[in-house]
């Protein structure tokens, strides 16, 4: 049996993966079977979040009993194949070849080009310099970051960002990334004024609308506090008050690969701040950085320990590695990162730091110990597999019952993020789909209307026509005639939609951890599956835990936590190496 036949019989490959291999075979009837299999696997790898396929790690990509070829021989066959290009590292690949072999990895040509173009665009931005800060800016820096107060890393981040056109600020939830960047923007406005230049054109952006709104709110709060502390009102007024999704910023429309803004027609911004950078996939980051004009600043905020993007690539991790690389001519990002590690997103009601730290380190024993001790808003329901069982039912349902009594959209939308049930899986008894259906039954009964009063909805595809994007959450309320209306947050006021006119959507009482990235909730119930699965990783557990603000319930067997903490969400990519990391 050929390798491609074995893959087809395994049921792992998608129809589009097989279609690519079959198309190549029609073009070249003599193409080696292992090359066809590599093409199908390169396509499959992108669907699994990788930028490329590594023949030496085929068993990690495909969970099936297959007799894999020797990796060196497989690569040699690919190197001799007419459908595979082998360009120099900085050169564009041949547009007539669908595959690229580089550093032992097999790429779909488009994704190799995304990596190459992103690395080139970052190097272009890094070339610009801004000179030494003015003395007035030094004095303002000392006021904004007083010695002995707060985290010294925040002061270092702001200082280094003044000198750098590209900067990464990393850290866990609640470590002050947004606060640091907001104060940095004040410094940049002051620096421009001291040099007799216009105030920089600032822009705030994030992968999701919820993350963008949260960042804009954080910047507004910092501006208000600085104004109250006596910082020059003109500088505080220079801070942006709104944020955009990355798709909206670039003018990307679903179904169209080209953005409104690109290298030829760049964005009209001088300083771009991107929050939740771990969620940004390779194609989107490439388009974003290419669209920045020469001399612009790019400030990326994120948490490497969170889940990588749903789509291909683990861009933030690659950029962190590149920033941490030794200084060299081929390492343009070297030294351009500051890590903040003081505090986590929590309140006095939730003491999350011990368990979050243990999970981040992969220390299962310490994580389980902290969970079992509990206290401070932390609850571990060991071996619990049903969040609607008596022990957790009230904690799960109580926050949402109040929605049934809301009539005003603003009031209801304010309650949307009171609680969320997060899952590792989409399907199955511990999956979001089944649990969401059961929650809706528990809240509204068997005779409920499809869009009952208080139902939460999540948009599952981008729709520029509606101004709604994947992950946006709304709530259903009846109008004066009793007809259901779906309300979503808007830039200035809640927006109303007839449910039948919405883009693709689903219930949102229970969602996967992936869907919850960029959001935070007062109460989180994290349901782990009964059996081990590859999607259970250290990053998934960490991301789920750190969505909680005041109360966290973890449900599931200890074995699930032990398995997850021993597994990383590894992505195959050449971006870090391309940017000078070892």
Task: Name the binding residues for ATP.
Answer: 171-178
| DSSP 8-state class, residue 239 | S
Pairing between strand 484-488 and 495-497? Answer: antiparallel
User: Helix 71-79 to helix 33-47 angle, to the nearest 10 degrees?
Assistant: 100
Contact between 234 and 190 (Cβ < 8 Å)? no
Nearest residue to 562 (alpha-carbon basis) of 414, 364, 387, 389: 364
Which strands form 505-507's sheet, in the order they lie side by side? 495-497, 484-488, 473-478, 456-459, 505-507
* d(C-alpha 213, C-alpha 120), whole Å: 31
For the annotated binding site, the residues are 171-178
* d(C-alpha 70, C-alpha 210), whole Å: 47
The string of DSSP letters for 324-359 reads: TSPP-TT-TTTT-EEEE-S--S--TT---HHHHHHH
Nearest residue to 111 (alpha-carbon basis) of 36, 46, 190, 16: 46
Give the list of residues 6+ apart from residue 447 with CB closer than 8 angstroms, or none.
Answer: none
User: Helix 538-545 to helix 353-361 angle, to the nearest 10 degrees?
Assistant: 160
How many residues appear in the chain?
582
Which strands form 84-85's sheet, in the order they lie side by side? 84-85, 99-102, 105-108
Distances (CA, A) of 358 to 175, 192, 363, 551: 17, 43, 5, 18
Can you name the residues that pair with 108 across neighbouring β-strands?
99
Q: Which residue has the tokens 């380190």?
A: 361
Contact between 97 and 84 (Cβ < 8 Å)? yes
Q: Which residue has the tokens 């800060």?
A: 133
* d(C-alpha 179, C-alpha 339), whole Å: 14
| Structure tokens, 66 | 């297959």
């Amino acid at each position: 049996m050929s390798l491609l036949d074995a893959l087809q019989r395994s049921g792992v490959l998608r129809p589009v993966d097989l279609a690519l291999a079959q198309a190549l075979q029609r073009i070249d009837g003599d193409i080696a079977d292992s090359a066809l299999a590599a093409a199908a696997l390169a396509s499959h790898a992108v669907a699994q979040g990788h930028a490329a396929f590594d023949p030496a790690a085929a068993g990690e990509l495909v969970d099936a009993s297959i007799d894999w070829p020797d990796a060196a021989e497989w690569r040699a066959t690919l190197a001799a194949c007419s459908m595979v290009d082998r360009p120099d590292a900085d050169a564009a690949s041949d547009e007539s070849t669908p595959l690229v072999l580089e550093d032992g990895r097999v790429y779909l040509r488009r994704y190799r080009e995304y990596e190459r173009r992103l690395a080139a665009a970052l190097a272009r931005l890094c070339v610009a310099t801004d000179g030494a800060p003015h003395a007035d800016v030094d004095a303002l820096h000392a006021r904004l970051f007083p010695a002995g107060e707060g985290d010294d890393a925040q002061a270092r981040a702001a200082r280094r960002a003044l000198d750098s056109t590209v900067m990464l600020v990393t850290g866990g939830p609640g470590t002050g990334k947004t606060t640091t960047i907001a104060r940095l923007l004040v410094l940049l406005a002051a620096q421009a004024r001291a040099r007799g230049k216009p105030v920089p054109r600032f822009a705030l952006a994030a992968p999701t609308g919820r993350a963008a709104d949260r960042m804009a709110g954080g910047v507004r709060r910092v501006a208000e506090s600085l104004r109250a502390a006596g910082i020059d009102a003109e500088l505080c007024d220079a801070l942006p008050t709104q944020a955009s999704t990355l798709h909206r910023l670039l003018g990307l429309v679903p179904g169209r690969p080209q953005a409104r803004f690109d290298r030829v027609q760049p964005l009209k911004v001088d300083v771009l701040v991107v929050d939740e950078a771990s969620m940004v996939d390779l194609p989107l980051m490439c388009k974003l950085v290419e669209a920045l004009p020469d001399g612009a600043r790019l400030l990326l905020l994120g948490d490497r320990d969170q889940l990588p993007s749903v789509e291909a690539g683990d861009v933030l991790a690659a950029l962190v590695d590149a920033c941490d690389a030794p200084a060299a001519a081929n390492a343009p990002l070297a030294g351009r990162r500051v890590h903040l590690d003081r505090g986590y997103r929590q309140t006095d009601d939730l003491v999350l730091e011990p368990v979050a730290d243990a999970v981040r380190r992969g220390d299962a024993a310490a994580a389980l110990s902290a969970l079992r001790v509990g206290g401070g808003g932390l609850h571990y329901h060991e071996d619990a597999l049903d969040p609607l069982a008596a022990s957790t039912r009230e904690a799960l349902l109580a926050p949402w019952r109040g929605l049934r009594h809301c009539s005003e959209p603003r009031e209801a939308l304010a309650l949307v993020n009171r609680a969320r049930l997060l899952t590792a899986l989409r399907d199955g008894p511990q999956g979001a789909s089944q649990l969401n259906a059961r929650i809706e039954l528990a809240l509204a009964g068997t005779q409920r209307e499809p869009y009952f009063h208080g139902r939460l909805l999540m948009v599952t595809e981008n729709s520029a026509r509606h101004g709604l994007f994947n992950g946006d959450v709304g709530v259903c309320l009846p109008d004066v005639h009793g007809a259901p209306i779906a309300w979503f947050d808007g830039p200035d006021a809640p927006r109303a939609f007839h449910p039948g006119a919405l883009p693709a959507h689903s219930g949102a009482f229970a969602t996967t951890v992936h869907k919850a990235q960029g959001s935070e909730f007062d109460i989180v119930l994290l349901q782990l599956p009964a059996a081990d699965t590859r999607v259970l990783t250290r990053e998934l557990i960490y991301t789920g835990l750190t969505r909680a603000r005041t109360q966290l319930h973890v449900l599931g067997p200890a074995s699930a936590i032990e398995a997850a903490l021993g597994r990383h969400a590894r992505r195959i990519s050449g971006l870090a190496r391309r940017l000078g990391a070892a």
